[in-house]
Amino acid sequence: MLEVKNITKTYKTGDVEFQALNGVSFTINDGEFVAIMGPSGSGKSTLMHILGALDTPTAGTYLLDGRDVSILSDDELADIRRDKIGFVFQSFNLLPRTTVLRNVMLPLVYAGIQGIEREKRAKSALLGAGLEEAHFEHKSNQISGGQIQRVAIARALVNNPSLILADEPTGNLDSKTGEIVMGTFQKLNKEFGRTIILITHEQEVAEHADRILFIKDGKLVEDRKIR
């Protein structure tokens, strides 16, 4: 599904160059749950931006579903993000005065899906993310942090992407709520076969995945299978 070949990312400020990634290579198959782990400054955020089609590498190749993402234009990258990738962020990024259901329907508006079908897909995604129907008409500032993150997961699912990319999804949650959210990711992976890449700096969060890629100083230093 996803293949990274010798990816390098170099940033330039005037005459100064900084190499954020240096020759990173790995493959992730359909249906895998993989955590990318590393300390601050390790390059994992840069790698996340490349995997999410938010940036392109300086050198190397990134294939997603057989397509070389590393050479696409900005418009083509936007299409990839809309059609292939569901994002879940630490900061949730929901509209606070809008209902849960409408928050999840929003990506479908941009995709040109009609009203009745939008609502049907949004409700299905919310149920799949583990949110009870009683909360669908609540505004996102009227529910708990764990429920908000499940809404964000549903929004990531609603376009049926081939890849879910979660960036520190438990970072704003207490440990108990974080466990519930990670359980949601595991369910989506095991029961629904979703491919999930989790970015984290926390070992206990990473261990919910089946495999951990360790990034340090811009290099892949370990690829560990957990289960």
Q: Residue 5, class by beta-carbon neighbours within 10 Å (0-12 exposed, 13-18 middle, 19+ buried)?
A: middle
Parallel, antiparallel, or unpaired: how do β-strands 16-28 and 33-37 relate? unpaired
Architecture of domain 27-56+70-225: 3-Layer(aba) Sandwich (3.40)
* Cβ atoms of residues 23 and 59 within 8 Å: no
Instruction: Report the pLDDT value the prediction gives residue 206, as an integer from 0 to 100.
Output: 93
For residue 218, is pLDDT > 90?
yes
Could you read off the pLDDT of 156-179 as tens digits, one per residue?
Answer: 888 888 899 998 888 878 888 888
Q: Which of 27-41, 64-78, 100-114 has the lowest mean pLDDT?
A: 100-114
Band the pLDDT of 213: cuts 50, 70, 90: very high
Q: What is the pLDDT of residue 59?
A: 94
Q: Rounded CA gap, 4 and 13, in Å?
A: 26
Q: What is the pLDDT of residue 60?
A: 95
Predicted local distance difference test score (pLDDT) of residue 53 = 92
**Phi, psi at residue 37, to the nearest 5°?**
-125, 145
